[in-house]
């Protein structure tokens, strides 16, 4: 499916029937640019596979800012152009799932005061840029690492995530995630 077909189909959906859920998956081996914004005011659920988020005029990738009712967002194997930060700003977003595998490095900036549930699956290359004031209601975090790649660096990155997410009520991790977190502690003895 070409980007022109994607845009045209999204236009038809938006013009004739405003969807509340949208699942977009690119099936070609190369990634397609996602629009800088979508004019789908009733959209509450969005799932994206294999898209590249372009930088806007301000140098930020902020594709979700116009989705004023978005509650659930899944970003699967996507990337940000020029390895910049993906900025997710939403007062209504409750659930965020990021599944990245071994996608290129990019940071995640969150300004999501209603976010309750955050799930990450893959290899964490992302720096999580939030603060307790931007994430005051987050309750549950799932971290599922898929391997032990760059364990020392990944361990430090995960520890930084846990500092950013200090106010959570529950944390679910895989055994691989625990091994990576413990790597930091064990590596101190070899310095």
How much is the pLDDT for 181?
Answer: 77
Beta bridge mates, 53: 80
Burial of 166 (0-12, 13-18, 19+ CB in 10 A): exposed
How much is the pLDDT for 184?
Answer: 58
How much is the pLDDT for 8?
Answer: 47
Per-run averaged pLDDT (10 residues), the chain, 191 residues:
50 61 81 83 92 84 91 92 83 93 71 92 73 76 78 78 85 85 57 43
3-class SS of residue 72: strand
Annotate 76-123 with DSSP letters as a single string. Answer: ES-EEGGG-PEEEE-SS--EEEEEEETPPP--EEEE-TT--EEEEEE-
- Phi and psi at residue 76, to the nearest 5°: -120, 120
How much is the pLDDT for 155?
Answer: 79
- pTM comes to 0.81
């Amino acid at each position: 499916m070409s980007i022109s077909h994607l845009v045209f189909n999204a236009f038809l959906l938006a013009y004739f029937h405003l969807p509340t859920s949208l699942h977009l998956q690119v099936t070609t081996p190369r990634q397609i640019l996602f629009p800088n914004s979508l004019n789908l005011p009733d959209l509450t659920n969005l799932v994206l596979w294999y898209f590249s988020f372009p930088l806007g005029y301000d140098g930020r990738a902020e594709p979700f800012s116009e989705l004023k009712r978005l509650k659930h967002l899944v970003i699967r194997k996507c990337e940000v152009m020029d390895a910049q930060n993906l900025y997710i700003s939403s007062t209504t977003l409750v659930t965020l799932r990021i599944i990245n595998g071994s996608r290129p490095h990019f940071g995640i900036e969150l300004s999501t005061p209603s976010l309750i549930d955050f799930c990450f699956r893959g290899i964490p290359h992302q720096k999580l840029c939030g603060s307790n004031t931007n994430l005051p209601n987050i309750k549950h975090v799932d971290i599922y690492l898929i391997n032990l790649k760059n364990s020392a660096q990944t361990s430090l990155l995960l520890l930084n995530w846990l500092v950013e997410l200090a106010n959570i009520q529950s944390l679910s991790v895989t055994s691989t995630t625990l091994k990576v977190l413990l790597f930091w502690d064990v590596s101190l003895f070899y310095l």
